[in-house]
Chain A
Amino acid sequence: MKKSFVVILMMLVLATTLMGCATSGDLAKVQAQEKLIDAKADQALQDAQAAKAAADAARLKADAATLKADDAASRTENAVKMAEERTKIADERAARAEAAFQESMKK
Chain B
Amino acid sequence: MKSVQEKPAPFPIHDIGLNEFSVATGDDVIGRLAVISLERGDTLPDVARHFGLGVNAISAANPGVDVWVPKAGERIMLPLSFILPDIPRKGIVVNLATMRLFQFKGDSNSLVVSTYPVGVGTKERPTPTGRMHVARKASRPTWHVPASISEDHRKKGDPLPAEVPPGPQNPLGESALYLSKFGYLIHGTNKPASIGLKATNGCLRLYPENVKKLYDDTPIKTPVVIVNQPYLIGQRNGILYLEAHTPQGDSGAIELEKTYARLRSLEKKLERTFDWKKVKEVKDEARGIPVPILKMSQGSEKEAAKTIEVEHPAKLYGRPAIPELKLEGWYVLAADVRDEIEALRIATIINHQGPQIPARVFSKSNGYRVIAGPFDDISEAKEAAKRLKIDLEIDGILIEPVNYLY
Contact = CB atoms under 8 A, between A and B. Distances in A.
Contacts, number: 86
B362 A38 contact: yes
Contacts of A100: 349, 391-393
Contacts of B364: 38
Nearest to B391: A104
Given A40-B402, A41-B369, A34 B325 contact: yes
Interface string A96-107: 011011111111
Nearest to B404: A40
A93 B392 CA distance: 12
Interface string B186-220: 00000101100101110000000000000000000
Contact of B197 (A39, A94, A105): A105
Nearest to B360: A34
A107 B189 CA distance: 9
Nearest to B400: A40
B149 interface: yes
A44 interface: yes
A37 B191 contact: no
Contact of A41 (B349, B392, B399): B399
Nearest to A47: B397
A68 to B, nearest CB: 27
Contact of A37 (B149, B193, B331, B353): B331
B392 A34 contact: no
Nearest to A39: B402
B206 to A, nearest CB: 14
A104 B402 CA distance: 31
B345 interface: yes
Q: Give the dominant DSSP class at A's interface.
A: helix
Interface string B351-390: 0111000000010100001010000000000000000000
Given A36-B402, A40-B399, A97-B346, A105 B194 contact: yes
A48 interface: yes
Contact of B327 (A36, A45, A47): A36
A105 B354 contact: yes
A106 B327 CA distance: 34
B353 A45 contact: no
A105 B369 CA distance: 24
Interface in A62-107: 90, 93-94, 97-98, 100-107
A38 B402 contact: no
B199 A102 contact: yes
B256 interface: no
Contacts of B402: 36-37, 39-40
A30 B327 CA distance: 10
Contacts of A37: 325, 327, 331, 362, 371, 399, 402
Given A44-B399, A107-B171, A102 B369 contact: no
Nearest to A102: B197
A90 B339 contact: yes
B326 interface: yes
A44 B330 CA distance: 12
B226 interface: no
Nearest to A36: B402
B397 A107 contact: no
Contact of A44 (B352, B362, B392, B397): B397
A101 B119 CA distance: 14
B114 interface: no
B24 interface: no
B336 interface: yes
Taking each of B336, B352, B354, B402, which has the highest tally of chain A beta carbons within 10 Å of its own beta carbon? B402
| CB-CB nearest 4 A-B residue pairs | A105-B194, A104-B391, A105-B199, A33-B325
23 contacts: A30-B324, A37-B362, A38-B362, A38-B364, A40-B331, A41-B331, A44-B333, A44-B397, A44-B400, A47-B397, A48-B397, A93-B342, A94-B342, A94-B345, A97-B342, A97-B345, A98-B67, A100-B349, A101-B349, A101-B352, A105-B194, A106-B122, A107-B200
Interface of A: 30, 33-34, 36-41, 44-45, 47-48, 90, 93-94, 97-98, 100-107
